[in-house]
Amino acid sequence: MSTSIFDIGAPGRGAAAQRPAPGDVSDLPPEALRRKPPRLPEVSELQTVRHYTNLSRRNFSIDNQFYPLGSCTMKYNPRGAHRIASLPGFAGRHPLAELAASQGFLACLHELQEVLKAATGMAAVSAAPMAGAQGEFAGIAMIRAYHDARGDTERREIIVPDAAHGTNPASAVMCGYVAREVPVGADGDVDFEALKAAVGEQTAGIMLTNPSTCGVFERRIADIADVVHDAGGLLYYDGANLNAVLGTARPGDMGFDVLHVNLHKTFATPHGGGGPGAGPVGANERLAPYLPTPMAAKEGDTYRWVEPADAPDSIGRLSAFAGNAGILLRALAYARMLGRDGMRRVGEFATLNANYLMERLRQQGFELAYPERRASHEFVITFRQEAKEFGISAMDIAKRLLDHGIHAPTTYFPLLVPECFLIEPTETETKEELDAFVTALTQVLGEVRTDPERVKTAPHNLPSARLDDVKAARDLRLVHEPD
């Protein structure tokens, strides 16, 4: 670690240029005031800038490294979109500003809603949810509101494949449902017979990612939609993998009733070290009345908010204001730069890159989890042989890959494939970058056979050696303690 900001200060030091003259507070009741100042850093402006600049250099990022993290779509985040969202008119606009002073922003929000409708094949979109998981929550809450409105209150289950993102069952539970898992078959598709057996009058809906978290297209999606709809259930589309089929296939055409889109994946907004994201939800005619508010509406040439009062069946607001507005602006700027052909090419080239990389790795002797299938925009490889033979784990290989200046793919997901990597190169990487990845991973695999200890003890070239997660959880040290 580098020295803490708390250990480089001195009593009385500060960034004087940032301090206004204090105001008079003598009218406030003394018992309401703070007696002892909080322990915050006491550092100069240069110390602050230097400290956090140096810390930044201890991060991997898309701007620095290839980052093939499966299911996360770590593609280039255009600087132009960032610049646009930071324009004074957008960045300085108060979220509760009067309508007359909000027409520019509302026009953008409305346009984004329209773009997302077109891209997903849905009847209406609300961009209110602030992340994918909140979009899931919104979608399942809408499904519940729909059933409740019909007096159909005995449906208690949401079906999720066992390969699904953990957020799926967690979101279902937050909405008061029981999450019922169905298995995924050896070919990566949901086990259709098991699904049929699981669906019934207790089924409120099903949550599916398509292409799935196994990196393959769910080939029987139309049959699945029929089975669930025939039982009175609804279909939720987890948009985590929309990047793979953008411009090629639309969830609305596959039979889904409601969905979310991760703008921080498919629409290239920056991940920011763990957020912010945005998870707009789209719905077909049946579920549109339940969309969360606020939304933008257009009347003639002017724009206004759709507030809860205009949408009596809405599940209501999910944030203090209007969601992650700045992320929505970035996504719109990106979508406009792509346009019709650009959107199709996103899906095409993400798929090309993934299939190329998969084929190269296959030729190098890596074991594919679903060797008979096309890759979508991502694919799964497994190191179960290496684990058995050399006692090496997927995590060991991931850590060794970091030494090659490459961010590790997603490890141990999907959970049903042992010792796996989920690899998603994205469309913005060059063939050379993919080839370099193959070279690096092949080297690591060679090392597994010749010097497994070197791999087990990786990383060796980073600011920290392997960190002890167990100790972190056992001896909880969650705040800096003064010496």
Number of shown-chain residues binding another protein (CB under 8 A) = 204
Which residue stretch of 87-95, 380-388, 416-424, 447-455 sits at the interface with another protein (rule: CB under 8 A)? 87-95
- Of residues 252, 425, 258, 455, the one with CA closest to residue 346: 425
Q: Which of 10, 149, 173, 197 binds another protein (CB under 8 A)?
A: 173
- From residue 303, how far is each of 99, 322, 364, 412 by CA, in Å? 8, 15, 56, 46
Pairing of strands 379-382, 367-368: antiparallel
Token pair recorded at residue 335:
């979508």
Identify whether 276 is preceded by a cis peptide bond (ω within 30 of 0): yes
Q: Which of 283, 291, 327, 455 binds another protein (CB under 8 A)?
A: 327
Nearest approach in angstroms of CB 463 to another protein is 5
- Of residues 424, 330, 347, 352, the one with CA closest to residue 119: 347
Q: Does 1 bind another protein (CB under 8 A)?
A: yes
Q: Does 283 bind another protein (CB under 8 A)?
A: no
Nearest approach in angstroms of CB 390 to another protein is 19
Q: Does 337 bind another protein (CB under 8 A)?
A: yes
Q: Does 450 bind another protein (CB under 8 A)?
A: no
Token pair recorded at residue 33:
């005031």
Kindly report the backbone phi and psi dihedral angles of residue 181, in degrees, each rounded to the nearest multiple of 5, phi listed first: -90, 140
**How far apart are alpha carbons 346 and 325 in whole angstroms?**
24
Q: Does 178 bind another protein (CB under 8 A)?
A: yes
Longest dimension (CA), the chain: 77
54-83 residues in contact with another protein (CB under 8 A) are 55-64, 67, 69, 72, 74-78, 80, 82-83
Q: Does 443 bind another protein (CB under 8 A)?
A: no
Q: Does 166 bind another protein (CB under 8 A)?
A: yes
Q: Which of 399, 437, 444, 455 binds another protein (CB under 8 A)?
A: 399
Q: Does 477 bind another protein (CB under 8 A)?
A: yes
- Which C-beta is closer to another protein: that of 355 or that of 442? 355
Which residue stretch of 33-41, 193-201, 229-237, 444-452 sits at the interface with another protein (rule: CB under 8 A)? 33-41
Task: Indicate the residue type of 161.
Answer: P
**How far apart are alpha carbons 162 and 61 in whole angstroms?**
30
Q: Which of 215, 239, 270, 425 binds another protein (CB under 8 A)?
A: 270
Q: Which of 326, 387, 440, 454 binds another protein (CB under 8 A)?
A: 326
Nearest approach in angstroms of CB 363 to another protein is 8
Q: Decide if 125 contacts 280 (C-beta within 8 A).
A: yes
**How far apart are alpha carbons 91 and 325 in whole angstroms?**
9
DSSP 244: G
Q: Does 274 bind another protein (CB under 8 A)?
A: yes
Q: Does 118 bind another protein (CB under 8 A)?
A: yes
- Of residues 17, 77, 3, 5, the one with CA closest to residue 47: 5
**How far apart are alpha carbons 430 and 238 in whole angstroms?**
28
Q: Which of 198, 288, 343, 445 binds another protein (CB under 8 A)?
A: 343
Q: Decide if 145 contacts 315 (C-beta within 8 A).
A: yes
Q: Does 263 bind another protein (CB under 8 A)?
A: no
Question: Exposed, middle or buried, 258 (CB in 10 Å: 0-12/13-18/19+)?
Answer: buried
Q: Does 291 bind another protein (CB under 8 A)?
A: no
Tell me the CA end-to-end span of the chain in Å, nearest whole number: 16
3-22 residues in contact with another protein (CB under 8 A) are 4-6, 9, 14-15, 17-22
Q: Does 266 bind another protein (CB under 8 A)?
A: no
Q: Which of 66, 203, 242, 373 binds another protein (CB under 8 A)?
A: 373
Nearest approach in angstroms of CB 60 to another protein is 4
Q: Which of 428, 437, 441, 448 binds another protein (CB under 8 A)?
A: 428
**How far apart are alpha carbons 67 and 438 in whole angstroms?**
13
Q: Which of 152, 193, 389, 468 binds another protein (CB under 8 A)?
A: 468
Nearest approach in angstroms of CB 249 to another protein is 5
185-244 residues in contact with another protein (CB under 8 A) are 216-217, 219, 221-222
Kindly write down the DSSP assignment for every residue of 265-300, as one continuous string: HHT----TTT------EEE-TTTGGG--B-EEEEET
Nearest approach in angstroms of CB 206 to another protein is 15
